[in-house]
Structure 1
Amino acid sequence: MKTYGYARVSTEDQDLTIQRDALLAAGCDSVREEKVSGQASTDDRKELSILLQFLREGDCLVVTRIDRLARSLKNLQDIVHQLKQKGVNLRATEQQVDTSTAAGKAFFDMLGVFAEFETNLRKERQAEGIAKAKLKGVYKGRKPTAQEKADDVLRLADEGLKRQDIADQLEIGIASVYRILKNSKAAAV
């Protein structure tokens, strides 16, 4: 039986040292770590994907807190289901989570519900803040950059450049190039 740690922070400027040290102190044989949003799918979290493939029956996956593993209850349940099928236990160093016990499983499920609730509250508060700022005229959103370059898109397309080359040259998304060309054709009709 091996014990593996998983440490995650959401942004590049955050530090993993505290999590790494806690996981090593908890007896982890090795620690996988990454800097990626918890909202990302499991497939988009390469280190977690590697761990989930690598873990074997009798192993234990350790995290400092459940929100380091997943932010939504659905994602959390999927990961736990995958671990359970492999015969792998999950433990959190800062929470009373140990899926090898009935009480640990119940507490684990409650933590998942609260983590998802917290994420939803944060999104609601953010939307309320944006709405207030819009009413005050402070928040206007991102200024559309591609539409300012519509004339250049049309000119380069007339010159015979491929759509991807236009997008690269003007530093805009290819979808914007297609949209501008489509709107131009619709306006000409």
Structure 2
Amino acid sequence: MGRLRSVAKRQQLEACLDYLREGDTLIVTKLDRLARNVAHLGQLVATLKAKGVSLRILDLGLDTSTPTGELILNMMGAVAQFERQMMLERQREGIAKAKADGKYRGRAPTAMRQARRVHELAAEGLKRSDIAQRLGLSERSVYRALSV
């Protein structure tokens, strides 16, 4: 299904879910700020339901404390995921076309532009962390530049 997953753990969401108690209502402004995809939405709704917590989504005027609200939430989640997939597909097609036309080359390798300077500073005896700080690079970029 492509790359529709969160890259990082969402610690604040996890803390919020741990804090909720029976009878509470979790209020979010937008559905896409809560769940990454329909499967994730289903997991969150199941977790909330098991805890006796309802969900309100302000921009949709939706409240899952009713069966109708729960149905509409699932339908909206499916539509949101479909829209996201279509957007990503159009983006991939646009990038492929731009590459074919020679208009897209990706991000410039900014750290490698400074590889010569990295080697000079290393030859002077500077530590990798000092080189990184002086040139505004990450230490990983310094290691990478020194490996070529």
Please classify the TM superposition score into its range, dividing by the shorter chain length: 0.7 to 0.9
Alignment of 1:69-84 (within 5 A): 69-84=34-49
Runs of 4+ deviating beyond 3 Å: 39-42, 48-51, 93-97
18, 21, 26: which is aligned to 1:56? Answer: 21
Q: Distance in 2 between matches of 1:69 and 1:114?
A: 15
Q: Among all aligned residue pairs of Structure 1 and Structure 2, give the percentage whose two residues are the same amino acid.
A: 48
Q: Distance in 2 between matches of 1:57 and 1:42?
A: 25
Q: Distance in 1 between matches of 2:147 and 2:7?
A: 32
Q: Please name the residue that 2:142 is paired with.
A: 177
* 2:10 paired with 1:43: yes
Deviations 1:124-174 (A, max 9, x none): 111111222222222222211111111111122222222222112111222
Deviations 1:76-122 (A, max 9, x none): 23332332232110122443643223332232222212212211111
| Distance of aligned partners of 1:167 and 1:135 in 2 relative to their CA distance in 1, 3 Å threshold | same
For structure 1, list consecutive stretches of 5 or more residues without a partner in the other structure: 1-38, 184-189
Q: Equivalent residue of 2:21, what SS? A: coil
Count of paired positions: 144
Where is the helix percentage greater, Structure 1 or Structure 2?
2
Q: Distance in 1 between matches of 2:7 and 2:51?
A: 23
Q: Please name the residue that 1:144 is paired with.
A: 109
TM-score (structure 1 length as normaliser): 0.64
Q: Distance in 1 between matches of 2:133 and 2:40?
A: 36
| Distance of aligned partners of 1:81 and 1:162 in 2 relative to their CA distance in 1, 3 Å threshold | farther
Where is the strand percentage greater, Structure 1 or Structure 2?
1
For structure 2, list consecutive stretches of 5 or more residues without a partner in the other structure: 1-5
